[in-house]
Amino acid sequence: MSEKPAVLGGKPIFEDAVPIVRPPIKDHVDRILTDYKRILESGMITNFVYVQKLEKAVASYIGVNHCVTTASCTSGLMLALKALNIKDGEVLMPSFTFPATAHVARWNNLRIKLVDCDAETFNVNTEDLKEKITGKCKVVVPVHIFGNPCDINAINEIATDHELKVIFDSAHAFGAEYRKMKVGRFGDAEVFSGSPTKAFTTVEGGLVTTNNEEIAKKVEIGRNYGHHGDYNCEIFGLSARMSELHAAVGLNLLPYTASGIERRNEIAKKYREGLGKLPGVKFQKITAKSLSAYKDFAILIDESKFGLHRDQLAVCLEKENIMTRKYFYPPIHMQDCYPELKASKEDLPNTSLITYNILCLPIFSGLSDEQVSRIIGAIIRIHNYADKVKYSITR
C-alpha cells in the first residue's frame, strides 16, 4: 500500500472500483433462471403464481396478515396513502429522506409538512413531530432511515393521541427488527422497496404489508388501474403490478435475507471498530433493542476535527476506487421541485447538520473483510494527509 493517498499521486488502494452496493443475486442465478424458464414457457408473466407465492411468503416472514406486491416502493406508497381515502390535509414526514417519500404525498394531492430528524438516529424527531401537528394533519409517514427502525411505539402513541394515520416508509428496512419483531407489522401499513440497493431485492418492486384488510384490498385493485378485472374502476389507480420474473427473484432470495443482514451488521461493526477512534467521524445510532437492515452505512464528518469536508473525503475515496454516496443530499426542503418547502438551517437544524456532512460507504453481503479493512485504511490514510489534501481539492 502506497503511503500517500491516490489524490496526492499515490497508488489507489483498489485497482478496480468497489461499488457502494451489489445485489445478492450472483449465487442464485441457476435457480432463478430455472424459474424464469417455467414462467416464460407458461405465458403468464405478470401478477400470477409466483407473485402470489411471494406475497404469502413475505406475510409469513414478517408476521402480518397481508402483503401486496407492487411495481415499486414508490407506487406502493402512492397506493397505500390513496387507500386511506384522505381528501384534503397535511402529511407529516421527514425532510431527510429520499424524494419519493414526498412525491407520493404530492401525487395524492396532499400538502407536505416537514419534520426534523433526530441528530443521533437520523430518524424522525418525535418531539419535533409533536410540535408540528395541527388540526390539518391527517397522516404521518415516518422513514426507517438506512434500515434503522424508528421509535415506532412513540410515533404510534403520538398518532393515536392526535387521531393520525401512520404509513411507514420502510423502503430500507426489509428484515430489520424492532423489539424482536420484524419491521412491517406496524402502523396502518408499511411499504418496502425491492430495488437492487436493498438487503432483500426483487430487482425492482415494492411490498405493502398491513393487518388492515381494507387497505390491502384497495392497494390490490389500485395496482391494476383501480378495477377488479372488469375494467370498471372503483378507485383512481395506476399500472403497478409486479411481474412474475421479479417475484421469482424475491422467492429465491428470501430464505437468505437473514444471513445477508447478519453479514451487513458484521461489516458495520468492523467499520465502527476501525474508524471509531478517528477524530471527526461519527456514526448513526441504532435504535435501542433494534436490528438495522443496514441498507447503507453512514458516517458523519466533522471537518474541524477530521481535517477535510465530507465532499473532499468523497473525492479522495473516488480516487482510491471506493464509491460513496451523499445520502440524503439534498433533502426534501432543498429540492428544486419543492420551492414552497424551502427552509432555513434553523427550521430543520438536525437535518441541515446531517445532510451537509454525511457520507455512505460501501456495504453489501458480498463485501469481504479484506475490502472493509482496506476501505478503513484508505480513510485513515486520507485523514493523516488532511493538511496536504485539503488544498489540492476545491469544494
pLDDT above 60 for 275: yes
Q: How confident is the model at residue 285 (pLDDT cuts 50, 70, 90)?
A: very high
Mean pLDDT of the chain: 96
Query: Closest Cα partner for 365 from 117, 26, 73, 121?
Result: 26
Predicted local confidence at residue 1, as pLDDT: 47
Q: Which residues, including other chains, have CB under 8 Å from residue 333's CB and lie 6 or more apart?
A: 95, 114, 341, 342, 343, 347, 348, 351
Residue with C-alpha cell 432463478?
32
Domain positions in the chain: 6-22+257-389, 26-256
CB burial of 153-178 (b: ≥16 within 10 Å; e: otherwise) equals eebbebbeebebbbbbbbbbbbbbbb
pLDDT above 60 for 395: no
Query: Closest Cα partner for 97 from 159, 161, 140, 132?
Result: 140
Q: How confident is the model at residue 329 (pLDDT cuts 50, 70, 90)?
A: very high
Q: What is the DSSP string of 26-52?
A: GGGHHHHHHHHHHHHHHT--BSSHHHH
Q: What are 53-80's pLDDT values in tens digits?
A: 999 999 999 999 999 999 999 999 999 9
Strands (E), the chain: 66-70, 90-94, 111-115, 137-140, 165-169, 177-178, 181-182, 189-193, 206-210, 281-283, 290-291, 297-301, 358-361
Q: Measured at the alpha carbon of residue 185, what is the angle toward residues 180 and 190, in degrees to the nearest 5?
A: 125
Report the C-alpha gap between 261 and 174 in whole angstroms. Answer: 9
Q: What are 112-134's pLDDT values in tens digits?
A: 999 999 999 999 999 999 999 99
Predicted local confidence at residue 3, as pLDDT: 85
Residue with C-alpha cell 425532510?
95
Q: Which residues, including other chains, have CB under 8 Å from residue 52's CB and lie 6 or more apart?
A: none
Instruction: Please check whether residue 150 is in contact with residue 187, taking contact to mean a CB–CB distance below 8 angstroms.
Output: no
Instruction: Please check whether residue 222 is in contact with residue 206, taking contact to mean a CB–CB distance below 8 angstroms.
Output: no
Q: What are 169-218's pLDDT values in tens digits?
A: 999 999 999 999 999 999 999 999 999 999 999 999 999 999 999 999 99
The neighbour count for residue 52, using CB atoms within 10 Å, is: 13
Report the C-alpha gap between 122 and 311 in whole angstroms. Answer: 19
pLDDT above 80 for 2: no
Q: Is 299 exposed, middle or buried (0-12, 13-18, 19+ CB in 10 A)?
A: buried
Instruction: Please check whether residue 155 is in contact with residue 178, taking contact to mean a CB–CB distance below 8 angstroms.
Output: no
Query: Closest Cα partner for 270 from 373, 382, 358?
Result: 373
Considering the four listed CATH numbers 3.40.50.12240, 3.90.1150.10, 2.10.10.100, 3.40.50.150, the one that applies to the domain covering 6-22+257-389 is 3.90.1150.10
Report the C-alpha gap between 95 and 101 in whole angstroms. Answer: 9
CB burial of 253-288 (b: ≥16 within 10 Å; e: otherwise) equals bbebbeebbebbbebbebbeebbeebebbbebebbe
The CATH code belonging to domain 26-256 is 3.40.640.10
Instruction: Please check whether residue 316 is in contact with residue 7, taking contact to mean a CB–CB distance below 8 angstroms.
Output: yes
